[in-house]
Chain A
Amino acid sequence: MTATVAPSARAKSTSRARVRRRVLVFAASGLLALFVLLTASLTTGEMPMPAGTALRALVGLGDSGDVLVVQQFRAPRAVAAIVAGAGLGAAGCVLQRLFRNPLASPDVIGVTGGASLGAVALIAAGASQTLIPVGAVGGGLLSALLLGVFAWRSGLAVTRLVLTGLAVQAGLAAAVNLMIVRFPAELAGSALQWTTGSVYGRTWTEVWGAAGAMVLALATALVLHRRLAVLDLGDESAGALGLRTSAARLQLLLVAVALASLAASLAGPVTFVALAVPHIVRFVTGPPTAASLGLAGLTGAVLLLASDLVVQHLLPIEGLPVGAVTATLGAPWLLVLMFRQSSPVQRSHA
């Protein structure tokens, strides 16, 4: 997506030392931003408190009222946003490379819809809260399976996958809405989460389960990164390098599905984050590397946490879900992307 720069200027700036420095600066500023945002989300709310008090309350020190507010309400919500954002960022990064399509993201290929439906189905059936991530991942996998079945005949060709995914996503989102209408009592409290995406009211039980699984999924994605890089060469070259391309693509797809589904189990079908994050990372650090996968996770976490803060405190409307902010930002972003894609200078990489 990086715009073409004059060759001579580009030659120097892509030297590896320079890229490494950019990665480090990006990572450091991302971590700093995350810390500032986290502190802000722990201190602000109906009971504002100084940063020191909030951080002490986080570890259980100080006024018991402060401890309760920070530990039981603010912290799980913030951590949920961080974990879900990281999963979405990394999932988008993997999917856009795997599909060789800058518009690919879990909410485009049906994974988010499947995860939401899985979670909603479990809630409607009266299952306990701890089972929700399981339902989400199951739903995500099922939607990926559905996608695979529909797109299999074309040998999992990229355009077919994307088009089929769009249809699957639309169908699943409609099914979620049907469930909410059919089971109003069971789903009343969380309808917004499962239609627009929200991290409101998350509890530690949900957060820890999903976070643990997320760490595993992220580690797997990093381990498989080399295969992803070889797949970038196309099936012929990748095959000649000894990569079993279908198996590798399936493994990476499963990891991306797990990342996106776990994110959806915490935040619902949040749009925009998975789509935008890989582009932001690429804009700063250039062509993708293993490091950009990690940076995508970090950027996603920062983005979702920041969006959630905006929703909570900066907008005059009460109770707005975070997905509404990301979608509002996402629509113009998508237009910009399409515009840049169709500009004549841009080479097609389909």
Chain B
Amino acid sequence: MTDQIQTQGLDLRYGDRLVVGGLDLTLPGGAVTAIVGPNACGKSTLLRGLSRLLAPSAGTVTLDGTDIHRMSARTLARRMGLLPQQPVTPEAITVEALVRLGRYPHQRLLSPWSAADQRAVDEALERTGTTSLRDQPVDLLSGGQRQRAWIALALAQDTELLLLDEPTTFLDLRHQLDVLDLVAALHAEAGRTVVMVLHDLGQAARYADHMVVLKEGRLAAAGAPADVLDADLVRSVFDVDCRVIPDPETGTPLVVPKSSAVRQPAASA
């Protein structure tokens, strides 16, 4: 199993509104993919489509060649975890109680909590540095700690694939990097496939092996960040004039907006 996700002619709709249209994508297994694009371009919707939360109105999503809508919800949940953009924290739940819920797809209706379940939870807490917080209520944690607790839940789920919807939104710079480093480590250590929606193009270029750029629900570009990210693309997708220079730290593409970069619709009309 290579954990490769493919979409063919994928249409995703909310009611009558087409949000993602005619998408042909291949997300390489064992790699980190960043999905980027302007607000409301369908990034989160695509993630919902990839994780079976939203059924396509046309086209298919396959995981290693199998249509995910032909797999049982439980089977898919053992292979793919998802951290939504704004997850709902149950009132007063402790970190450990939250992380334990990640074991749901591995449990049968009447099976008791097993040693393997506890081991997976302990490892997930350890891996995300939340062991010391295990008895704390999640709603009293800081934003960064809370995000770690939610990633721990996804890790306890013990899946090869991890989908993260804007995991760095609402976090300050230090905690953004903290989460991204954690994601990079999870990928490097266990060869996990990671697909994440990001807003910061520079961070996406730094942390991703593969980049998918969406505009208005359609594919604008896909490939290695160094091949994809250039001034023309940023202008056509984000409507921003910029220079793309090598990141002085990593050499990956870095987007530097020009001083009067935002194109005013009135001026261009």
Contact = CB atoms under 8 A, between A and B. Distances in A.
Interface of A: 1-2, 4, 7, 10-12, 14-16, 223, 226, 229-230, 232-237, 239-244, 286-287, 289, 347, 349
Given A16-B135, A223-B110, A240 B74 contact: no
Interface of B: 48, 51-53, 72-78, 80-84, 87-88, 90-94, 96-97, 101-102, 104-105, 107, 109-110, 135-137, 139-140, 153, 157, 163
A241 B101 contact: yes
A244 B55 CA distance: 13
A127 B69 CA distance: 49
A229 B163 CA distance: 22
A7 B81 contact: no
Contact of B135 (A1, A14, A243, A289): A14
A240 B82 CA distance: 6
Contacts of A244: 73
Nearest to B107: A226
Contacts of A347: 139
Name the 3 nearest CB pairs between A and B, nearest first.
Answer: A242-B77, A234-B88, A240-B82
Contacts of A289: 97
A289 B101 CA distance: 12
A236 B84 contact: yes
Contact of A7 (B72, B73, B140, B153): B140
A232 B73 contact: no
Nearest to B104: A241
Contacts of A12: 135
Contact of B157 (A10, A229, A241): A241
A344 B77 CA distance: 39
A241 B137 contact: no
A3 to B, nearest CB: 10
A243 B84 contact: no
7 contacts: A236-B82, A237-B82, A237-B87, A237-B153, A239-B73, A240-B77, A240-B163
Nearest to A10: B137
B136 A7 contact: yes
Nearest to B140: A7
B73 A233 contact: no
A42 B220 CA distance: 78
Contacts of A15: 135
Nearest to B79: A242
Contacts of A232: 88, 90, 93
B197 to A, nearest CB: 13
Contacts of A4: 140
A237 B74 CA distance: 13
A287 B91 contact: yes
A1 B83 CA distance: 26
B147 to A, nearest CB: 14
Contacts of B105: 241-242
A230 B157 CA distance: 13
Nearest to B74: A242
B94 A287 contact: yes
Contacts of B51: 239-240
A10 B77 contact: no
Contact of B104 (A2, A7, A10, A226): A226
Contacts of A10: 136-137, 140
Nearest to A15: B135
Given A1-B91, A237-B153, 14 more contacts: A4-B140, A7-B136, A232-B90, A234-B84, A237-B82, A239-B53, A240-B80, A240-B81, A242-B72, A242-B74, A242-B75, A243-B73, A286-B92, A349-B91
Contacts of A226: 104, 107, 109
A239 B135 CA distance: 26
Given A234-B88, A286-B92, A349-B91, A239 B52 contact: yes
A2 B140 CA distance: 13
A236 B77 contact: no
B136 A242 contact: no
A232 B93 CA distance: 10
A230 B94 CA distance: 14
Contacts of B84: 234, 236-237, 240
Contacts of B77: 240-242
